[in-house]
Amino acid sequence: MSDKTVLYRKYRPQSFEEVLGQDHIVSVLKNAVKAGRISHAYLFSGSRGTGKTSLARILAREAGCSDVDLIEIDAASSRGIDEIRALREAVRFSPMQGKVKVYIIDEVHMLTKEAFNALLKTLEEPPAHAIFILATTELDKVPETIISRCQNFSFRKISEEVLRRALKNIAQKEGFEIDDGTAGLIALGAEGSFRDAQGILDQIISMGDKKITEETARRFLSAPSREIIEKFLTAVLEKNAEMGLEAIAVGMEKNIDIKILYKMILRDLRSAILLKLAPAMKKQIQDSYSEKEFQFLERCKDSAKPGELERALKIMLEYYETRSRSYLPQTPLELALLAIIGQNK
């Protein structure tokens, strides 16, 4: 890269309009700012890399907070009652430059019980010039007393389509060439996190090749080849257990990430179903695959019996949920295959 700044910092959103995948939240906050009805406390929850801290900073600026009056606290390292007591003392003083003081407390679920109790007292009677924005990846660990005193916003994982477009845009700005399939593969590996998607792209770009190929992305992510994916799906449609098990075994021999294999199979099954049941989405699906890959999906759609793809997807999803409990990572996929073709009743 011509600029040594890491991508997630360089392309961190600076305005409401630049925030990706959280339109349901952005629209509410923009209207609140416009109407002058900003709450004294917000709670942003959701997966890592979905824009919670970035949107908190944007909201702070839009509310009239200067850089010097924006205080960010990482509750993972400043989690005790002493830190919150210091906050309670400091919050009483008026802003130095802006209209308000904003406190962003990241990973707020990490606070101790005593710290939460101290914070609660401030949230119950906040100074007029203070705004608190709490962020967490584990909402279930935040006390209900805190939740009830905040406006709550749940951040969604960013869709693969939104990530794919964003990655292509960033690569182009950085002077690199990347096609839809490669950007889609990186988006799949990022699991809904814009920061992770940028991090993966950053590391691939650091290899120096101006053209980012799908093969490069596959190697970096330990993703399976299309041959393995298509062999597995062909086995599903042909009810061929040996072929499917062999595809999985080949993948394990190549040290692929079995989770990514599972997700790519799920994505292809879903795409084939949409092609069959929602023809209007054909162009959107086609843009996410190479021509050869799309032709394979078309063949899957045409050869599948009524309801066959839907049943396969349902079974795959059921076994996908058991991955974390499996001693061998490939076992849930093998069992799903056998269940689909009727050999695991």
pLDDT in tens, 70-117: 999 999 888 788 888 899 889 999 999 989 999 999 999 999 999 999
pLDDT above 90 as % of the chain: 77
Q: Give the separation between CA 253 and CA 304, rounded to whole angstroms.
A: 30
Q: Tell me what pLDDT residue 326 has.
A: 83
Tokens found for residue 250: 């080949």
Q: Tell me what pLDDT residue 180 has.
A: 84
Tokens found for residue 171: 């690569």
Q: Give the separation between CA 216 and CA 218, rounded to whole angstroms.
A: 5
Contacts of 77 (CB under 8 A, 6+ apart): none
Domain ranges for the chain, please list them: 22-155, 160-221, 226-341
Confidence of residue 237 (pLDDT cuts 50, 70, 90): very high
Q: Tell me what pLDDT residue 345 has.
A: 47
Number of separate helices (H) and strands (E) present in the chain: 17, 7
Asked if the model's pLDDT at residue 249 lies above 60, the reply is yes
Asked if the model's pLDDT at residue 286 lies above 90, the reply is no
Confidence of residue 169 (pLDDT cuts 50, 70, 90): very high
pTM of the model: 0.84
Please provide the CATH number assigned to the domain covering 160-221: 1.10.8.60
CATH topology of domain 226-341: Zinc Finger, Delta Prime; domain 3 (1.20.272)
Quick check: helix, strand or coil at residue 106? strand
Domain at 22-155, CATH homologous superfamily: P-loop containing nucleotide triphosphate hydrolases (3.40.50.300)
Q: Give the separation between CA 298 and CA 151, rounded to whole angstroms.
A: 46
Residue type, 194: F
Q: Tell me what pLDDT residue 78 has.
A: 83
